[in-house]
Amino acid sequence: MIPLENFLILSSILFCIGFYGVLSRKNAILILISVELMLAAVGINFVAFSSFYDTERYSGHIFALFVVAIAAAEVGLALGIIIRLFRERKTINIDEANELKW
């Protein structure tokens, strides 16, 4: 049987990789990809703790389900914004999106 620590270590490594991606990328879609990685890592943590210790209510499973739904909404909204940005500025480099209004 696989102990809890393995799942936690896996999710920490994935979270750090996603965090590095958020900090280092400049393309908006690639930043979105890294955010997806971080959300997935958090989902592993939720489900692991809930499956090992919270065997009465399984709150973590339900939270992970909610995270999946919210991530889907977030991706739809963010891609709408990115396409709008590209249509008006011809770029999705976030360094060039430096005005609040144009």
Q: Please, which of residues 30-49 interact with other proteins by CB under 8 A?
A: 30, 32-34, 36-37, 40, 43-44, 47-48
Q: Please, which of residues 54-93 interact with other proteins by CB under 8 A?
A: 55, 57-59, 61-62, 64-66, 68-77, 79-84, 86-88, 90-92
Note whether 86 and 92 are within 8 A (CB). yes
**Applying CB under 8 A, does 96 fall inside the site for other proteins?**
no
Q: How far apart are CA 18 and CA 41, in angstroms?
A: 9
Q: How far apart are CA 85 and CA 91, in angstroms?
A: 7
Q: Which is nearer to other proteins, 77 or 98 (CB)?
A: 77
The distance from CA 2 to its chain's CA centroid, rounded to whole angstroms, is: 25
Please state the closest distance from residue 63 (CB atom) to other proteins, in A.
9
